[in-house]
Amino acid sequence: MEVSSWLIIIILAFLLLVSAGMLMLIHYDMKRMTRQLDGIINNFGTNELVRTNTHSKSIVRFISKINQLIHLFKQDQQLTQRKERELKQEITNISHDLRTPLTSIKGFSELLTDPSLSKEEKQEYVAIIQKKIDNLTMMVDAFYEISQLESSDKPFHMEKLFLNQIVVDAMLIFYDDFEKRQLTVEIDEDSIPPIMADEKATNRIVANLIQNALRYANSKVAITFSEEEEYVRLRVANDVDEFDRTELHRIFDRTFRLDTSRTGGELGLGLHIVQQLINKQDGNVEADVHENEFRIDVLFRKWG
């Protein structure tokens, strides 16, 4: 009986020592992980994560969640930094785009005060000033529209629309512009099913696509339709001299310029607005270049 008691005491003492040892190991590991966290907090730009030497499943799961939180926080930090850089770049570009026409308007306005100018010269300068003011107004309106699109939660009025008729009506509006640029226009006359879309937004999408083609086409513009399982695809294509495919991922950015020599330095806001409008209608927009043809595809949801 006495031997059994001593055996029990020895076993309990051994278990106590093992438990104390494990607690000491956990204690030192916690101190080490705390130092790791201090290092991560003080040098948050590094890719360091918290590591543990213990084999406790609960502690391993806890550290895993901490590392997951660190990873998510770093992702959010990187996204915030990227947005800040983009905002600074946008402010720089907007400042330049506003300053350029304002400087031009100021210069021609000062020229108008020259008493030696002929009547014809004054009319020419006034026409230039008016054109600069119109461009400036369009630019400010575009920025205002973008801010409204990105901040508004107002739902669109989705209804049954005939996309081919909307395109034909829009082409008639821009007929004189195509004539002035002497562009060849091809429009697909195949029948397509109706789409489910907001009429005002769809008219703006089509107008922006046509204006983009007008701005960059060399000699021709082709507009085609195709039916897919859930969508109707509208493609507006125009020929170009060359295009850097590495820039395709930026084609819908607010600050992207495709060719400043053709736009007078204007921002590519039209395609950004197209993207915003179609995304809000559960559709999609894609850009691609095939040989010397630049394509914009907009996918509208089919009616029904």
User: What DSSP string describes 243-261?
Assistant: --GGGGGGTTSTT--S-HH
pLDDT of res. 22? 64
Q: Provide Rg for the chain, Cα atoms.
A: 32
Delimiting residues of CATH 3.30.565.10 domain(s) in the chain: 159-301
pLDDT at 24: 67
What is the DSSP code (8-state) at residue 218?
A: S
Q: pTM, whole model, 2 decimals?
A: 0.62
What's the CA dihedral at 97, 103, 104, 107 to 10 degrees?
180
- Cα dihedral 86/91/97/100 (nearest 10): -140
Would you tell me which CATH number, out of the four given (3.40.190.290, 1.10.287.130, 3.30.70.100, 3.30.470.10), belongs to the domain 92-151?
Answer: 1.10.287.130
Please name the CATH architecture into which domain 159-301 falls. Answer: 2-Layer Sandwich (3.30)
pLDDT of 210: 92
Please provide the distance, in angstroms rounded to a whole number, between the alpha carbons at the two ends of the chain.
88
Residue among 298, 50, 302, 274 nearest 194 (CA): 302
Residue 44: predicted pLDDT: 66
Where does the chain hold its CATH 1.10.287.130 domain(s)? 92-151
Q: How far apart, in Å, are the Cα atoms of 145 and each of 149, 212, 287?
A: 6, 17, 22
CA gap 188, 222 in Å, rounded: 8
What pLDDT sits at residue 296? 93
Q: Which residues of the chain have pLDDT under 70?
A: 1-3, 13, 18-29, 44-46, 55, 93, 146, 149-153, 244, 255-268
Using DSSP, state whether 156 is helix, strand or coil.
coil
